[in-house]
Amino acid sequence: MIKEIRKWRPSYKCLYVIPEINGAYQEIFHIFDKIIPLRKIKNQEDTLVMLGNYITNDEKSHLIIDKLIDIKNNNKNSFFLLGKHELNLLKSLNGDKDAYIDFLNSGGDKTLQGYFTLKNVKINPFSLNPIRLNDLIPKNHIEFYQSLLYYKIIDEYCFFHGGFNYLKSIEDTNLDTFIYDTATSQYVKEYSLHTKMSPIDSDYVFVSSYNHKSKEPYICQQYIMLGGNAPKYLYILDLLSMSCSAIKSGKKNMYKYNFKM
């Protein structure tokens, strides 16, 4: 019998990146079982960066937020970024009806049904004034959504959910670009496929969830794109060892994922 590995720690200290969840609460809990709590030993501290899109597609998405809040409160080296779904929800809370429709059509209706069940109310989310969500979503969840970062810089890595303006500095990039931009991923992919090089001249290595027209992690010089396949598959990458594991929907065990460089 093969002995199951209790923790997934491929390097003496890990810089874990999880690009997306999209409501796959059972699978992400299995991943957390392998990496949480993060190690806190001096010079051996683990770090966790999550790139957004935690919710949608499942009525139990709120359980994911409960877990993320717990991880944030108990692991100081954990950083949670804003994804498109979370930003659309935040805009919905402020009455943005276009963002609300986008959120619902991306599977957010199931997330809201989960929240409505917690409140013991029956509401059709498609007929709801989004302002009312302020009374239907737990306050600590709203506060968590509001605390999410547009981007995070750790050493030589710059993390974000969507893209960035490669013609400007990170500091001068419009914040919404870090969430909604898809053009940079497309441009870098097309350029690197033809030249085997990156068109970006920067001191940073950029790490994003958005992954243009791909369901498998894509890695090129200075740009790592990890998302595109949740909730069917969830990926976790340790940047310090460049080791990657995955878990398939409905399964309990992670397996080694060999990505192409």
What pLDDT, on the 0 to 100 scale, is given for residue 2? 40
Residue 3 reports pLDDT greater than 80: no
What's the domain range around 88? 15-256
pTM: 0.95
What pLDDT, on the 0 to 100 scale, is given for residue 195? 78
Strand order in the sheet with 151-154: 151-154, 157-160, 205-208, 223-225, 218-220
Residue 1's pLDDT band, with cuts at 50, 70 and 90, is very low
Q: Could you tell me the CATH number of the domain that includes residue 67?
A: 3.60.21.10
- Residue 213 within a domain: yes
What pLDDT, on the 0 to 100 scale, is given for residue 22? 97
- Domain count for the chain: 1
| CB-based contact 56:97 (threshold 8 Å) | no
- List phi, psi (to 5°) of 197: -135, 165
- Residue 95 within a domain: yes
The tens digit of pLDDT for each residue in 190-234 reads 888 787 677 888 899 999 999 999 989 998 889 999 999 999 999
Give 72-129 as a 3 state SS string. Answer: HHHCCCEEEECCHHHHHHHHHHCCCHHHHHHHHHHHHHHHHHHHHHHCCCCCCHHHCC
- Residue 218 within a domain: yes
- Residue 147 within a domain: yes
The pLDDT of 241-248, averaged and rounded, is 96
Residue 4 reports pLDDT greater than 60: no
- Residue 10 within a domain: no
- Residue 231 within a domain: yes
Helix or strand (DSSP H, E) at 185: helix 183-195
Residue 112's pLDDT band, with cuts at 50, 70 and 90, is very high
The tens digit of pLDDT for each residue in 37-87 reads 999 999 999 999 999 999 999 999 999 999 999 999 999 999 999 999 999
Percent of the chain with pLDDT over 70: 97
What pLDDT, on the 0 to 100 scale, is given for residue 261? 62
What pLDDT, on the 0 to 100 scale, is given for residue 110? 98
- Residue 58 within a domain: yes
- Residue 5 within a domain: no
Token pair 């409140």: residue: 119
**Distance separating alpha carbons of residues 184 and 260, to the nearest angstrom:** 20
Percent of the chain with pLDDT over 90: 85
- List phi, psi (to 5°) of 140: -65, -25
Residue 166's pLDDT band, with cuts at 50, 70 and 90, is confident
Q: Which residues contact 66 (CB under 8 A, 6 or more apart)?
A: none
Helix, strand, or coil here: 54?
Answer: coil
For the chain, the helix, strand and coil percentages under 3-state DSSP, each to the nearest 5: 35, 15, 45
| CB-based contact 234:24 (threshold 8 Å) | yes
